[in-house]
Structure 1
Amino acid sequence: MSNEADVRPDDEIDLVDLARALIRRRWVIIGTFLVCTLGAAFYAFSQERVYAFTTSIELGEFGPQEYVASASGTKNTIEARILLSAKRAYLKERNLESMPFDVSVSSAQESSFVNLVTEAPLDQQETVAEFHDRVYKRLRDEHQSRLTILEDESDAKLKNLRESLKAEQRRMKVLEGLSVNSTEQAGNGETEAQALAGEDVRATLSSSDAALTLLLSQLQLNERISEREERINEIQSNLREEQTRRSWIKPTRAEDLAIASLSPVGTSRALILVLGALLGGMLGVFMAFFVEFAARVREAGTAS
């Protein structure tokens, strides 16, 4: 029983002993902390500040909420084809082996904008803007060819609608003229019927048949006139709609190139300093225990 009591305290961690060891090795902790903190400070302030340069490209339109291409499709086109071609031309012109910066493409879902984003130092803004402009112009030219086709199709449709409207209006005038003539004939027929009514019953019956025929003809003319009016209204509605669509055609455009972010991007200097201080503190405690352990091992070896 007494042996077990003597052994148990040796297996427990003595917090007071640990505190004494940390106090004895405080200079190891302080030194390690200062080295890590100063190293983090040197790294943080030696890094060049990097900003995000953004170029927003608004997709071309050929009608309200009708775009020459979707934002996601445009993003894929830029990444798979236009960006690669632009990089090759850029490297060849400047005789470089690799790009000094990278370009990413982003687009929000159901949006009419595609963004070119580059992270680079502030002194490279002009170079980034030049490259963004190169990518934008290639996309704009590709979209413009599609818009030209849509413009030609819209112009042809407008021409056909105007010609159809003129033709329907000419037919309408003819029908209106026939209607006026039919009304006049019906009035003359009634006058003749009244004049002949007292002379001959047969003439009266004949005049009544003629009046009935004119009346039926008038009804048919009115029906055809109504149909023409509906057709004219329909053509005019289609014409206004197509004119609105045609006037809405806008090319793909970018107002500003490589707009710099208000503050640097990436890990901030303050965060690097905090992380360095935390790492220095933890590493300092570890080094203090390691030095204390090594010292005790030497003492045990010397005593033996």
Structure 2
Amino acid sequence: MPQLEQTPQQPQHYQDDEISLVDLAKILIKRWKVIVITFLVVVFGALAYALMQERTYQYVSIYHVAEQASAQGVPTGLESPNSVIAKMENLYLGTVARELRETEGLESLSLGVSASQPADTLLIRLTSEASENNASFVVTVHEQLLSKITEDQDKLLERNRERLEQQLATAEQAMSSIEQSDRAGELMATYIDRIAEIENRLSQLNEGRVVQVAVQSQSPTGTSRTLIVAVGLVLGGMLALMMAFFSHFTSLVRASLREEKGG
């Protein structure tokens, strides 16, 4: 007789491990207290963190470097903004921070100042982020930095003015000395053009100026409180479901241990 193939039976433990959507729903209903408590704890924790977080603002100062006329007649900086920024970062910033710490009696001052040049401008942009409680420190640091930049730019402007005035005096003296020479007419035109050029360059010298000092941004920077609460809601929902299943799993383990002890 031919033997009939027997279908192997699934192990009992495999059948017990199967779970349906109905079983999942039952677990969530049975563990609703765990879900609610976990969700509320996470959400209230996120809300408390958002309310306790210190709101920070951005403070911006702007400086326009001293100008001179270029060979093409287009205004250009006596010193490039990037060069001024390098001086500020390497020479002025450390000194200003140290003086402020000593004046205010502070052990440390965690106040960052970043500088940049807006594209195609002769502007320098100083930026700091701080809370409203530290706004006075930001203003002081920016004012002192701008003061040192202005002082250095004024000295540079004065040196250039003195150099041009000396060139102007030399050209005028030379023109006076050739008035009686045979080539006076030819050379006179050359010196007149030279004197006009120097006078034009003198008139194009413009000192650097502070445009604004530590203007506070209208809205806070960094992570908003709304986003923190929204993340708390999502995380609270996920953790609540995880805790419900974990609670159910631990209860099954305890029940299994009790059965083994009873047997």
Where on the TM-score scale, by shorter chain, does this alignment land: which range? 0.7 to 0.9
The verdict on how the C-alpha distance between 1:235 and 1:23 changes in structure 2, with shifts beyond 3 A counting, is farther
The match for 2:131 is 121
Give matches, 1:1-304, under 5 Å. Answer: 1-4=7-10, 14-63=20-69, 64-99=74-109, 101-167=111-177, 170-171=179-180, 228-229=185-186, 231-304=187-260
Matches of 2:11 and 2:41, distance apart in 1: 45
The verdict on how the C-alpha distance between 1:234 and 1:282 changes in structure 2, with shifts beyond 3 A counting, is farther
Q: TM-score, normalised by structure 1?
A: 0.73
Aligned letter for 2:258? T
Kept in 1: contact 2:97–2:109 (CA 8 A): yes
**CA offset digits 1:246-268 (Å, max 9, x no partner):** 12222222132111101111111
RMSD over equivalenced CA pairs, Å = 2.5
The verdict on how the C-alpha distance between 1:22 and 1:236 changes in structure 2, with shifts beyond 3 A counting, is farther
Kept in 2: contact 1:54–1:115 (CA 8 A): yes
Larger % of strand: which? 2
The answer to which of 121-130 and 35-44 deviates more is 121-130
> Secondary structure at the residue paired with 1:66?
strand
Larger % of helix: which? 1
The answer to which of 95-104 and 27-36 deviates more is 95-104
Kept in 1: contact 2:113–2:127 (CA 8 A): yes
CA-CA distance at 1:6 after TM superposition: 6.6
Unaligned runs of 5+ in 1: 176-223
Percent identity over the alignment?
Answer: 29
The match for 1:221 is none
Larger Rg: 1
Unaligned runs of 5+ in 2: 1-6
Matches of 1:158 and 1:12, distance apart in 2: 99
Kept in 1: contact 2:58–2:220 (CA 8 A): yes
Kept in 2: contact 1:71–1:108 (CA 8 A): no
Q: TM-score, normalised by structure 2?
A: 0.84
Matches of 1:275 and 1:40, distance apart in 2: 8
CA-CA distance at 1:302 after TM superposition: 1.7
